[in-house]
Structure 1
């Protein structure tokens, strides 16, 4: 059976916070002497994720880009 994929859309500020949090988690794991492979994979995916521009329509009828 095929795994279900989930897509996460974040803006540049949220992406920055996500990366900083993952690096902080990696540093904590290193201090504890634990493996960081899974965190490294997530950091790689976030850094190399494609940028997609979306158009969002607000309830009031105006558009945000």
Structure 2
């Protein structure tokens, strides 16, 4: 059976927050003497992920 693939679309702020969180997790694992291989792979994937511009349409909202 094939594994499911998920796509996550984040803006630049969320991307930097995600990277900071992964680095903090990696540092915590290093302090505990645990392996960091899976976190390293995630950091690598986030850094090398292609940037995709998508158009955002806001529906509703405030009356001006």
TM beyond 0.5:
yes
2:35 maps to 35
Structure showing the higher strand proportion among its residues:
1
Unaligned runs of 5+ residues in structure 1 are: 61-65
Q: What's the TM-score, normalizing by structure 2?
A: 0.90
CA distance in 1, matches of 2:4, 2:31: 34
1:44 maps to 44
Aligned length: 60
Stretches (4+) displaced over 3 A: none
Unaligned runs of 5+ residues in structure 2 are: none
CA distance in 2, matches of 1:57, 1:39: 34
Aligned-pair RMSD on alpha carbons? 0.7
